[in-house]
Structure 1
Amino acid sequence: MSFPPLAYPPYPPYPAPRPVPRRPFGVVFALVAGLLLAVAVAVNGLLFFGMAFAGDSCGTSAGTARFCDDSGVWILVAMLGPWVALGVAVVTVVLGAVQMRRPWTALAVGVLVYAAGPALALFTVFG
């Protein structure tokens, strides 16, 4: 004895799974961001090293009045400002890439935010 075929399938038909979108630009973005981060860390290291000895010229006429005051606040600003700017730039890039889904725009804004740190350090020393 055989049963008649069912008029409908025994389970609801599911749509075919969507193909996973390929994001080759995601790999390129990660490589470019990593390279820029490595360059920024190297620049910050060199600036930090240079700012450690920038106060040596304060006894001569070569030192700027702002940098050579007795409080030492501007020396700390010049030494740590680029690192703070790098941290803010990394947060900017990560939030812009993840939440806004605009990684290249966020990377450009992050580079501009980072550039303010070394500019502040150099402006502090050379006035």
Structure 2
Amino acid sequence: MSFPPPPYQSLPSYGPGFPSPRPAPGGPLRVVFALVAGLLLAVAVAVNGLLFFGMAFAGDSCGTSAGTQRFCDDSGVWMLVAMFGPTVALAAAVVTVVLGTVLVRRPWTALAVGVLVYAAGPALALFTVFA
């Protein structure tokens, strides 16, 4: 004849106990990255809108002595570069940041490279008109 085991009695715990579960790795940094990237995207879209509006009227000075030789050539290629260059640079910057974040998993480095890629577009537009 066998007896059932005695009921389990919890023992008093000694020491700090089990550590609390860790938060997801990079959780708060993902939110900060998303906020910074969204803010930079909003600023870039605003800059592109202002540059596009300005470049739409930049050709008005081509009949005067104020127009630059490169911008006011007869082909109109540089005028299109000045108008659409920042938009193409913004699209390239977004692709750079997305690929750097998803494939390479270096979001802050990709964001810095994306800012540099984008800065080339407005710089090219302003150089085309004023140099």
1:53 is paired with a residue of what secondary structure?
Answer: helix
Instruction: Mark the runs of 5 or more structure 2 residues left unpaired by the alignment.
Output: 1-20
* Structure 1 counterpart of 2:11: none
Matching residue within 64, 76, 87 for 1:60: 64
Matched pairs, number: 111
1:45 is paired with a residue of what secondary structure?
Answer: helix
Q: Which amino acid aligns with 1:21?
A: A
Measure the CA separation in 2 of the matches of 1:72 and 1:101.
41
Measure the CA separation in 1 of the matches of 2:125 and 2:29.
34
Measure the CA separation in 2 of the matches of 1:111 and 1:28.
17
Matching residue within 116, 126, 129 for 1:125: 129
* Structure 1 counterpart of 2:24: 21
* Structure 2 counterpart of 1:49: 53
Percent sequence identity is 84
RMSD, aligned α-carbons: 1.5
Instruction: Mark the runs of 5 or more structure 1 residues left unpaired by the alignment.
Output: 1-17
Q: Which amino acid aligns with 1:47?
A: L
Give structure 1 regions of 4+ aligned residues with deviation exceeding 6 angstroms.
Answer: none
Measure the CA separation in 1 of the matches of 2:69 and 2:63.
11
Q: Which amino acid aligns with 1:44?
A: N
Q: Which amino acid aligns with 1:84?
A: V
Measure the CA separation in 2 of the matches of 1:19 and 1:32.
25
